[in-house]
Chain A
Amino acid sequence: MKYSITEKSKKDDEKIVRISLSDDATPSYVSGSKKKRRRRESVKREWKFVILALVLILSIIMGSVIRVNNAVDYITYDDIKGFNNLSAVITDRFDQLIYEDGSVNNYKIFGNLIGQGESIENSLINKHSDKLMSDDINPLLGYRSLETESRIMKTTLLSEESQQELADLFKKKNGCCFAYNYETGEVYTAFSLPQFNPNQQNSEYINRCLNSVYIPGSTMKIITSILAVAQGKENKKYKCEGSYTLSSGKVIDCTGYHGKISFTEAIGKSCNCYFAQLIMSLDLDESLELLNQLGFSVNNKKLPTVKMDELSRKNSAVEMTNLSSFNNIWGLIGQGKSRVNPIHMAQVAAAVVNGGKAAEPHFITSITNPNKTKPEKQIIHTATTKYTEFMSPELAEDTAEYWKKAVDNHYDLKGMSDRITYAKTGTAQVEINGRLRENKLLLGVIESSKTAFYIVVENSSSAPQIFSIANKLSELLPTN
C-alpha cells in the first residue's frame, strides 16, 4: 500500500514530522518560550511514567515481602514437617523411640501428653515446637537451611510397655495415673485414659493429669491433716457414733462406728465424724493462709497458671468461708465443692514426706539438635530441677509422722505392696449422666524410689484394682 501525499503540502508536513519527533505533543505552530515550556513539561511527563513503573515494581515486591514476613508467625511445626519431611523424634527415659515420623500412631498411651501437631494444644509437641524445628529462618535461603537429621527430645517417661501394663490394669475404665520423682522432678508417667487415637473422630484430646480436677474423696484428709497439725489441733480425741449432726441440723455420715478415736486412727480409718469436729476447731484465717501456701485456689481466687515444661496444669480449688458450715466441712473432708488436680496432690504429698519442699515436675530431660557439629551447640534444652516450698520442714515432718503411723497401725491396706510407704485412698461420689457413680482415688508415696503418685480410676470403687495399679507402678519404677 502506498500512502499518497500531495506534492504541494510535502514541505510543511515534513516540518511537522521533525518537530513531532523531538517533542511529540507540541504542534508546529506553537512558538518561542511557550514551546520551550511545553518541551520541559513533556520531558517531565516522560519521566513520570518511568517513576510510576518503578513504584509499581516496588509496591509489588514490598507488598509481597511484608505479607510473607507477617505470615512467618503462622508457620507451624506441621507446616515445616510437610515441607521438609523431617519430624523430631521423642524417646522415653531409656532412649527408646516413642514418637517418630510425626505421629504417635503406634504409641497411643503417650498420645494426649505428647500430642500430634496442633491438634492437642497442651502437649509437649505443641508447646516445644519452636525447639523441635529449625527456627532460624534464613531470610535469604528460606527454609532450605533446614536440617537433615531429626532433633531429639528425651523425656523422663517410663517405657511405652510399662505404661501400657499400667493402663491395662484400668480394665477399660477411664482415669489417669501420675507419678514423679520428688527429688529430681522427673515425671515417670502421666497417662490418661481414654487414649488419644488420631484415626478416630472425636478422639480424647485431654490429658486428665494436666487438664482435669477431681473430687478428692478422702485423699483430701491429708490436706486437712496438714492444717490441723499446723494449728496444733491434732492432740484432741473425738467421738464417732457413725454420724455427726451439725448445729444446723445437717448430718455427716461416717464409714462406720469408730467410737472415741485419736488423730492417727482417724486418718487410718478415714473417719468423717472425727474430721468434722476437727475442722470446726480450726482457725479460719490460719487455714486460709496455709491453703494458699499449699497452692490451692481458695474461694475462686484466680491463681497464676502453673507450668511444667511449658505444659500448664489446672489448679486445685477449695471453698472456705465458715468452718462450721456443712458445705465447708464437707469440702475439707473431700466431697462437696473441693476439686484437686492429680499432679498438685502428688506434689503436696511429696512435700509432706520430703521436709516441706518438692521438686517441680518436668517431662523433658533434654532436647538436642544433632545437626550442629559442636557438641555444646547441640544442646537446645536441658532439665533443671526447681523446688517449691509448700510448708515448713517442721510441719512436714510432724504431718509425715502422723501419716506414717496411721498407715502402719490403723490402715486396712490389704493387697498393697510394702514398697508403698505412704498412702491415702479416697472414694468420691460423682454424678455422671444423671447417675451417681464412684471414683476411686489413691494418693501415695514410695520412699525407696522417691516417688509420689496419684491415681484415679473413674466409675470404680474397687480398692484391690487401684492397689494393683499402685503395686505395678512401684515395681516398674527405677530404684535409686
Chain B
Amino acid sequence: MDDTDNGYAIVIEDLVKKYDDLIAVDGLNLEIKSGELFGLLGPNGAGKTTTINILNGLLKPTKGTAFVAGYDVKKDLNNIKELIGVCPQEAALYKFLTGRENLELFGNLNGMPKNKIKERMDYLLELLDFEEDSRRKVKGYSGGMLRKLNMLVALIHDPKIAFLDEPTVGMDPRARRKVWEFIGSLKSQNKTIILTTHYIEEAEALSDRVGIIDYGELIALGTPKELMEKHEAKNLEEVFLKITGRRILEGI
C-alpha cells in the first residue's frame, strides 16, 4: 500500500456533500498521514459523521473526492473495504447473537481465518474486561456494553485504518481509560485512526493532530499544542468554544 498512498492514509479534495439543499460538507480539504491518530472535532451537525461515511463508501460525494490509502472512494471502494474498520456512531449489532457471535460474524465477513478470529477476539475481550458479558446475548446489554462491543466489532480484523465515530460515549471512566490506552497502542502498530469525540480532553490527550470543522468547513488544523498556543487557550476545549459556533454569535 505504501507505494500508492505516498505516506497519506486519507486525502480529501474539495469535498462537498449536500442533502437536498442542506450543505453538510462544504469544500473540505484535509490530509491525514499514515500512522497518525487524527481527532476530528466539531459541534453537533458539523459534518463529521457525513465525512466519515463518504470515506468508508456509505455515502457518495456531491462534488470533489477523497482517497483512502491512495484509493479513490468513487472508483476503488473494494480495495478500501479490505483496509478499513468503522465504529458507527449508532451501535449496529445483531441483538439475538451473543457478543462473541457478533465478533465472529464480522471476523468472517472480513475474511479472517478461524483461528485468527478466536485469538484476536480473546485478546480484545480481555483488554476491555468484556469476557463474561461477551457470552450473553446483545439483547440484554446495557448502553455502555453496547458501545464497547460496537467498537470491538470495528477492530476485530485489526484494520490498517480505523474510523471511530464517538466510540467512548456512554462508557464508564475505567472503560474509557482502557479504550484510550488501547487506541494509543494502535499508534505504535502504525495504524491510522480517525477519531471523533465530544470529550475534547480525550482528543487532546490522544491525538497527534486535530481538525475542527463547523458547518462542513475546516476551521482549525494542527497539533493540540499548536492550536492552544495560536488561540491563547489553556486547553483544547477552550479553543473549541472560542472558534466554533461563530455563525450563531455573529448572527450570520
**Pair from one complex:** no
